[in-house]
């Protein structure tokens, strides 16, 4: 498939772009909510509202992902390879799922306190959400926007590296400073999930880079 196909898209086929944008909007929403969740928990306040809001967004993400997969089976001509659209949708959904999972762990485990690395991870995820939103939003105009999209993907990879560093810093500090083994287990599981969320965001960038190579 080459770029001549871009001139042949019908309204039916372009519906993939608003659906993918819908997933990226949810990533923005859950990353913002997660930051609020962490801030609220640090203040010692109840995070039920944030947890329920993120859980609701996660369900919305599942519905959109299912809709994309269903549309792939019904649509003859797609803007990109079906496999790439399928993988991109799944990876976007994975980011949502991981942030939801981390929120659920904080809600259920109820750790005595959150470390500074959790707050820093929340900021990293929020930055990543912005890069994902910008990249996905520009996919419909890939030919003209491929350089700026590629830059977003590079930023996602840099944020993933930052997440790796944060996780290493957390491991070093938690075993030095925390004496309660139960708290260590709780926090380690939460932060491992946050590190996985940054990996998922980077995977979104990798799929988009594959699309750039094929179609830009």
pLDDT digits (tens, 9 = 90+) for 16-68: 999 999 999 999 999 999 999 999 999 999 999 999 999 999 999 999 999 99
CB atoms within 10 A of CB 49: 13
Is 0.75 topped by the overall pTM? yes
pLDDT in tens, 61-114: 999 999 999 999 888 888 999 999 999 999 999 999 999 999 999 999 999 999
CATH superfamily of 3-215: Phosphate transport system protein phou homolog 2; domain 2 (1.20.58.220)
- What the block records as the tokens of 127 is 């930055």
Q: Cα–Cα distance between 150 and 168 in angstroms, integer? A: 28
Distances, alpha carbon 81 to alpha carbons 48, 51, 107, 167, 208, in Å: 41, 36, 39, 35, 12
- Token code pair at residue 211: 């699309």
CB atoms within 10 A of CB 107: 18
| Residue 180: φ, ψ to 5° | -85, 115
Decide if 28 contacts 133 (C-beta within 8 A). yes
Per-residue pLDDT tens digits for 105-140: 999 999 999 999 999 999 999 999 999 999 999 999
CA distance 206 to 33: 25
Report how far apart, in Å, the C-alpha atoms of 140 and of each of 7, 15, 87, 149 are: 12, 10, 17, 11
Listed by start position, the domains of the chain span 3-215
Residue 7 CB neighbours (<10 A): 6
């Amino acid at each position: 498939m080459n770029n001549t196909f871009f001139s042949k898209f019908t309204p039916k086929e372009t519906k993939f772009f608003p659906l993918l944008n819908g997933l990226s909007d949810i990533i923005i929403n859950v990353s913002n909510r997660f930051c609020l969740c962490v801030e609220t928990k640090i203040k010692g306040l109840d995070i039920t509202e944030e947890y329920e809001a993120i859980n609701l967004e996660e369900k919305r993400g599942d519905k959109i992902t299912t809709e994309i997969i269903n549309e792939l089976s019904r649509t003859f001509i797609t803007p990109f390879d079906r496999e790439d659209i399928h993988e991109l949708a799944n990876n976007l959904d994975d980011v949502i799922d991981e942030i939801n999972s981390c929120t659920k762990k904080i809600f259920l485990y109820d750790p005595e306190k959150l470390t500074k690395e959790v707050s820093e991870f929340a900021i990293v995820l929020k930055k990543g959400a912005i890069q994902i939103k910008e990249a996905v939003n520009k996919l419909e105009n890939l030919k003209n926007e491929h350089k700026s999209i590629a830059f977003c993907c590079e930023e996602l990879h840099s944020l993933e590296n930052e997440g790796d560093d944060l996780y290493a810093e957390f491991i070093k500090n938690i075993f030095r400073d925390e004496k309660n083994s139960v708290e260590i287990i709780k926090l380690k599981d939460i932060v491992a999930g946050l590190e996985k969320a940054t990996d998922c965001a980077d995977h979104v960038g990798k799929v988009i880079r594959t699309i750039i190579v094929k179609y830009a």
